[in-house]
Chain A
Amino acid sequence: MLQQIAAVTMINLRSIPQRWGMSLATILSIALVVAVLLGFLSMANGFRATISGTGSDDVAVMLRSGSQAELNSGFGRDEVRLMETAPGIARDSADNAILSAELYVIADGRKRSGGLDANLPLRGVGSAAPQLRQGFTLVEGRMFAEGSNELVVGEGVIREFSGFDYGSTIRLGANEWTVVGVFSTGGTVFDSEIWADIGVIQNLYQRGGSFQSMRAQLTSPEAIEALRAFVEAEPRLDLEVSTEKDYFADTAGGTSDLIMFLGWPLAIAMAIGALFGAWNAMYASVDSRITEIATLRTLGFSGFPAFVGTMVEALLLALIGGIVGALATYLVFNGWSASTLAGASFTQIVFSFAVTPTAVMSGIILALAVGFFGGFIPAIRAARVPLLAVHG
């Protein structure tokens, strides 16, 4: 029996070149289905990786209560001073709280693709800001000098937006700025930001002595509770405390889900279209070999090898299609940089498409499913070829 199956399968596979047109169409159509699925999945994965890579457990973020996002928040210097005495916050060698009070303004940046303006976060920070971002390194140049019109720019901004290259001057509103440094935080959300001196931003944007967010280094992830209790017990503080990790999980989780919800139904709809195509191609394959199959049956072969032979052919075509689709997506999309407006921060987040092994597996499984369902009924037909067909 195994020999029979092997023999019929070989006949099937060797005859593929005779029907190269339809076989190729099947392979390419399945490849396109897989490419569409992987395109969406890699977009969603890349976006999620950027968000979930941002934010640590032992950094606390404080915003004015009810504000939901830095953009809406605001508080005065008094609240910052109070927080510097709060429990649970780590202190440096000089016994100062490791705390950074920041301002968050949106400025226009020109996208490299399309040339239209999009929202970029311009963050006013003090000297503590870099140590509150894990993996912060200056890739080029230096930090801005205090009180100057100098900017340091995240890597992601440079990738997606024009005019922010190292050393260039850029006009935001009525003010000229010089880019004196480029920083990286290893692909987190902060790579999509522009930083300048907090005092300069307060002054140029008429924010007086106000701030929009505070970040503080916690002595341990558990210390967040002590900090929260302190804030709630102090009537002069109108703040909401969360870990940085929770803050990012809350603000931008929806976008990757949205991409997934778009990608899967589209890929499945296309897969159904390709399935009918594969079905059709396999019918043609069975039809073209009907005399051979009947001859084999006359020689004493059972119907089962004919069934297996056809299924193997269908699955093989699907697998090749799946691999071609996955490879093409990987070559074209993996690492592709893009940016979108996301989350309550209302600014662009730059991210890279990531073709992950899990996504590739999903694609191959979808391809095999198309091959399986496309091959099944034609395979049954092959198994049931009447002996008389030998005269056809």
Chain B
Amino acid sequence: MNDLTLIRKGVFRKKVRATLLILSILVAFLIFGVLGAVNAAFGAGVDTAAANRLVTVNKINFTLSMPYAYYGRVRQVDGVENVTHANWFGGYYQEPRNFVQSFAVEPATYLAAYPELQFGEGQAEAFINTRDCLAVGADLLTQFEDWELGRRIPVRSNIWRQQDGSDTWEFEICAVFDGEQDNVPANYAFFHYEYYNEALQFGSDEIGWMVINTTDPSVNDQVIADIDEMFVNSRAESETTTEGAFNQAFVEQFGNIGMILTLVISAAFATILMIVGTTMFLAISERTREIAVLKTLGFSQPRIFTHVLSESVLLSLIGGLIGLGLAALFVSVAAAALSAFLPGLSMSTETILTAVAIMIGFGLITGLVPAINAMRVQIVDGLSKS
């Protein structure tokens, strides 16, 4: 009989108890895994932000527009490699509830600004050269059964009107794009600014926001200062930030999601910590006699200490890994269903590694006091205890 067998026997000494503990640990790590993935998906906009990408919006609020002329002026700024601009379209397909997140953009520079968007063979060129092309993200395309490459579709706007009073723009889906990686969103569509602007009944020659690629992240601060300086005291002052900061601020508008999730996860762990901690304490004190026997047989104090600690870590790992596995399964099913709403839902390596680290830490914490107690068992006391 080696040490490992002893540890295994120790864990499953009372099968029902061990099973119950494993199940409650499992639940905690299931919650951790799922919420960790949700949190990462909310933060995806920050993770996928390019270090050299800036966003310029109207200083009052990003929903207010700026004059088209700003685009030309920002192109002249030192350290700017590429500028593009976009307008919010407020699109929907057939019915208002079929929301189509869509933007009117400057085609060639938009693609240059977002190199992580990948198109099928020849489709990027087709988008740039086709005046009424709608480039559709792969996750948006699957939302509507009758959308496919080459199809002409009408998209209505809840904001804009054409000069003839119509709120419908006709597009040909001539390009489909997807992100290079899972966490790059592909749940939106974009089309030519010119095609949209020339038909507008009101609000023409205005742009919603600009996206700027700088030559290097190190010049960001200078570029930001130069751009915003240019428009001070004009009718539309600008506010330029890095893409990461902009996305962070946007997510935070919904509330401090990170804090809420952390609170829930902490509550789940605190619950399980108390349950497992007290049970381990009880389990070891029940075994005082047994430990005394081991000592009599010549087991050293450190060896007994290690045994007890290994038991609690083993328990935690069994429950935790099963829970994490179930969470991964759940997340992969949910990811497909939520791709349009919460793109990039997946369990990252970081979440998995954090979880494993917590499992080990958790096992050590719950096992520490019982292990010290076990180590201190006096043979005489232990054996005389009936």
Contacts and interface: CB of A to CB of B under 8 A. Distances in A.
Interface of A: 21-22, 24-26, 28-29, 32-33, 35-36, 39, 66-69, 71-72, 74, 105-108, 111, 113-114, 116-119, 172-174, 205-206, 266, 269-270, 272-274, 276-277, 279-281, 283-284, 338-341, 346, 348
A369 to B, nearest CB: 15
B282 A29 contact: no
B237 A346 contact: no
Nearest to B248: A116
Contact of A270 (B21, B27, B263): B27
A3 to B, nearest CB: 32
B156 to A, nearest CB: 7
Interface in B92-120: 96
A284 B252 CA distance: 46
A276 B23 contact: yes
Contacts of B256: 113-114
A338 B256 CA distance: 10
Contacts of B30: 269
Contacts of A119: 61, 63, 253
Interface string B123-166: 00000000000000000000000000000000010110000000
Nearest to A210: B202
Contacts of A29: 270-272, 274-275
Nearest to A26: B275
B275 A69 contact: no
A69 B158 contact: yes
B61 A25 contact: no
B17 interface: yes
A273 B282 contact: no
Nearest to A74: B202
A266 to B, nearest CB: 6
Nearest to B250: A341
A116 B253 CA distance: 8
A324 B58 CA distance: 49
Q: Which A-B residue pairs are the 5 nearest by beta carbons?
A: A277-B275, A273-B27, A25-B274, A173-B60, A276-B24
Contacts of B24: 273-274, 276-277, 280
B373 to A, nearest CB: 13
9 contacts: A29-B270, A39-B263, A68-B158, A72-B90, A72-B159, A106-B64, A113-B256, A119-B253, A174-B232
Interface string B20-50: 1101101110110001000000000000000
A33 B237 contact: no
Interface string B267-297: 1101110110111011000000000000000
B272 A273 contact: yes
B264 interface: yes
Interface residues of B, number: 52
A270 B268 contact: yes
A205 B64 contact: yes
Given A72-B159, A283-B16, A270 B60 contact: no
Contacts, number: 148
A317 B263 CA distance: 24
A206 B235 contact: yes
Given A32-B270, A113-B256, A273 B21 contact: no
B60 A341 contact: no
A159 B95 CA distance: 38
Given A66-B167, A280-B21, A21 B282 contact: yes
B10 to A, nearest CB: 17
B111 to A, nearest CB: 28
B271 A105 contact: no
Given A66-B158, A274-B24, A284-B279, A338 B271 contact: no
A69 B88 CA distance: 15
B59 interface: yes
A117 B249 contact: yes
Q: Which of A22, A29, A113, A284 has the most CB of B within 10 A?
A: A29
Given A28-B270, A276-B24, 14 more contacts: A32-B270, A36-B267, A36-B268, A66-B158, A66-B167, A68-B96, A72-B90, A108-B60, A119-B63, A119-B253, A174-B232, A272-B23, A276-B275, A280-B17
Contact of A35 (B26, B31, B252, B267): B267
A24 B233 CA distance: 64
B255 interface: yes
B236 interface: yes
A25 B277 contact: yes
Q: Could you say which of B21, B58, B158, B249 has the most chain A C-beta atoms within 10 Å of its C-beta?
A: B158
B234 interface: yes
A287 to B, nearest CB: 9
Interface in B49-92: 58-61, 63-64, 90
Interface in B243-269: 248-249, 252-256, 263-264, 267-268
Given A173-B236, A276-B20, A67 B159 contact: yes
A272 B202 CA distance: 57
A108 B60 CA distance: 6
A66 B31 contact: no
Contacts of B272: 29, 273, 277
B234 A174 contact: yes
A348 B16 contact: no
Contact of B278 (A22, A340, A346): A22
